[in-house]
Structure 1
Amino acid sequence: MAGNDLPEAAAPEAAPLALSGAPLAGLRVALFSGNYNYVRDGANQALNRLVGYLLRQGAAVRVYAPVVEKPAFEPTGDLVAVPAIPVPGRAEYRIPVALSPRVRRDLAAFAPNVVHVASPDVTAHRAVTWARRRGIPVLSSVHTRFDTYPRYYNMAWIEPALTAMLRRFYRRCDALVAPSESMAQVLREERMNYDISLWSRGVDREIFNPGRRDLAWRRGLGIADDEIAVGFLGRLVMEKGLDVFADAVDELVSRGIAHKVLVIGQGPARAWFEARLPNAVFAGFQAGSDLGRAVASMDVLFNPSITETFGNVTLEAMACAIPVVAAEATGSESLVEQGINGRLVRPGAIHAFAEALRGYIEDADLRARHGAAGERRSLDFSWDRINQAVADTYQRLIRQRAKR
């Protein structure tokens, strides 16, 4: 047993879940996250949206995560700092490393009746132990394919050990929520847990819609009205499939297929990506309405990543009526309907990716049909309905625990 899990004074009993008043009155959620707001990405924005929804419904929420001097955005709800160290080679990320006495006292005073862990780090392991000792149910949300990351850094040999570590972590939780059915199926096949439900993702239709398309903005970047913009959207890190993206673009160039590459995002691999795609337009980081404008101003989104469990960028493009070419992998498989709103391609199949892109580049009617179908599909993703599914899972786990 780890030193941080030594016995301590018993926490006050968690308050029972209220059955009246505000819809979620009596629900007390302790949320542990490895990255709640210090770097902006789809996972932490989803967590902030969840906390905002829970608070509006009358729940009490306390978030435990690393903090930095200049976070990417203000956190939603009460945020308590946990001890953390920078990730080696990726200093913009931090690894939570302990459940310190100060945090334990805060946690005990808050008295949660459910614990939610959002990343399989040391602090989350300690939080799971803390909750299990007190008979408090634990839900874990799965946000990324951590076990696939090593292959992008020439360390694929470590994946089996990493998968085994994740299995141990997830099976100590009472239940998991995954953002897509395809990811849930992967978790079942890998025996991560046997209670897995969906916490999908929503899209803000005020920000992401076809009306955001702005040809003047494109012209300002040097993209003519009649040029087809193949877009990349996301954090510029190798695990997003930047090498596959660049190789497929190389093939388009070698075949003389006219197009323009539009890259939306920032990250540590930007210099590498710029060197690989010297003729691409790099628009940098975009947020809010600017991001909606950038996405709607693409003509096709190319998402070769296999690390996402959902694919927020895919859904955002669909909401803007932009067809998608994506890797046949978790997340995208649950959003892209083959030959209806986009194309799914075997991961790493450069020729097939280039051929799928060629179809959209050369056929305006195909782009319009598949884009319209994607927009219709995006209407199914309402944030409030999606976040209520997590609240329902919390309540179910609390009821199940009370019957033991």
Structure 2
Amino acid sequence: MQTADLRIALFSGNYNYVRDGANQALNRLVGYLLRQGAQVRVYSPTVDEPAFPATGDLVSVPSMAIPNRPEYRIPLALSGAVKKDLENFAPNVVHISSPDRVARKAVKWARKRQLPVLASVHTRFETYFRYYNMSFLEPLVEAWLRTLYRKCDALVAPSESMAQVLRQQRMNYDIDIWSRGVDRDIFDPSRRDLQWRQALGIDDDMPVIGFLGRLVMEKGLDVFSDTIDQLKRRNVRHKVVVVGEGPARGWFETRLPDAAFVGFQGGADLARAVASMDMLFNPSVTETFGNVTLEAMACGLPVVAAKATGSQSLVDDNRSGRLITPGAIAQFAEALRSYCESPALRAEHGAAGEQRSLDYSWDAINQAVADTYIRLIRQRRTEAKGA
């Protein structure tokens, strides 16, 4: 069986209506599969004005806006129209990418027809409740996720550290790696632009601490701002640049009144913004990989990150950045102070990170997923013959 023989039904809770690292990876995967001759049908909630055009054929599933977070939608049902479309498409493998109700119905639909199911894990959903004073729900959510993932034939995780977490949580016993790549035609140290910095009122020799990502509390905005407070109390010379948008922007601006908020940036503009920083600070513990970390490394920046899934697979502590115990404000501040006060250390660790980023080729990474589809199809056919 070849990649061109694949017919993949992909279920996503957010394929393109709000931009994030997970759905950009999914769109890139679909684009690669289509170029190899595979057939792909995507099922996801849709909106009138999505964040970016969808790659491939997109079928809308019934959904509703999430209360208090209306930019996101909850898939509600595998409707009759969607089921009919699915039957007509006749996939030979089903891929779910979010643990919602429609994904669960899709797994049930596939199992009834003896089709293999692959689940990709893009974020640590169980950790989100920590940011809303509901951490007591984490064990329940973990158990709820386990019931779904054990019904799948295999999982793919974006890093070995995340795969290990999934094994420890007993989510499944067949877990492959679907890493993430970086576009080296865009992300490169040469994108650094001192004039862009100057337009923000930043001197050429001012150390810039960057934040990159969607502005939501689960990205560790509280830890980021508390750490910056510590740097101020220590009289460490620095400037903060925040790249991204989100519902917590107002809160973040209040906590960081001296920061430069440049909003959403994409493509070459994003690469310019990242390369014009001097270090990236990523305190989040919810990412399973950390696309922003890899993009910063490709631009030659040292990264100070929480010692959590994703970052641990990318950052080499004390060589290309620092890995700090999650929530350890004083340790984060000390790591950032070292980079702020030593241009030589920044350059040394940034160069090591850029070298590490060369290992991440998108085509090779996405072919690994295609190979997993093919393996699962073969296994299911072998099982059927032996039955």
| TM band (smaller chain) | over 0.9
Counterpart in the other structure of 1:157: 136
Match of 1:293 among 255, 272, 287: 272
Secondary structure of residue in 1 paired with 2:184: coil
Counterpart in the other structure of 1:49: 28
TM-score by length of 2: 0.99
Query: Displaced runs of 4+ in structure 1, greater than 2 A?
Result: none
1:105 is the counterpart of 2:65 = no
Q: Distance in 1 between matches of 2:71 and 2:203?
A: 36
Counterpart in the other structure of 2:338: 359
In structure 1, runs of 5+ residues without a counterpart are 1-18
Deviation of 1:226 after TM superposition, in Å, equals: 1.0
For the Cα contact (< 8 Å) 2:3–2:371, is it kept in 1?
no
Match of 2:112 among 102, 109, 133: 133
Output aligned runs, 1:19-98, within 5 Å.
19=1, 23-98=2-77
Deviation of 1:221 after TM superposition, in Å, equals: 0.9
1:193 is the counterpart of 2:172 = yes
1:383 is the counterpart of 2:358 = no
Deviations 1:238-287 (A, max 9, x none): 00000000000000000100100000000000000000000000010000
Secondary structure of residue in 1 paired with 2:182: coil
Q: Distance in 1 between matches of 2:184 and 2:34?
A: 22
Output aligned runs, 1:197-236, within 5 Å.
197-236=176-215
Q: How many aligned residue pairs are there?
A: 383
Counterpart in the other structure of 2:163: 184
Q: Distance in 1 between matches of 2:56 and 2:93?
A: 17
Q: Percent identity?
A: 71
Match of 1:350 among 325, 329, 348: 329
Secondary structure of residue in 1 paired with 2:128: helix
Deviation of 1:33 after TM superposition, in Å, equals: 0.1
> RMSD between aligned alpha carbons?
0.5
Output aligned runs, 1:202-351, within 5 Å.
202-351=181-330
- Give the counterpart letter for 1:39 in structure 2: V
Q: Distance in 2 between matches of 1:172 and 1:120?
A: 12
Counterpart in the other structure of 2:125: 146
Q: Distance in 1 between matches of 2:13 and 2:299?
A: 31
In structure 2, runs of 5+ residues without a counterpart are none
Q: Distance in 1 between matches of 2:202 and 2:183?
A: 26
Q: Distance in 1 between matches of 2:279 and 2:271?
A: 14
Secondary structure of residue in 1 paired with 2:3: coil
Counterpart in the other structure of 1:16: none
Counterpart in the other structure of 1:11: none
- Give the counterpart letter for 2:28 in structure 1: R
Q: Distance in 2 between matches of 1:150 and 1:363?
A: 37
Q: Distance in 2 between matches of 1:116 and 1:25?
A: 16
Q: Distance in 2 between matches of 1:212 and 1:97?
A: 43
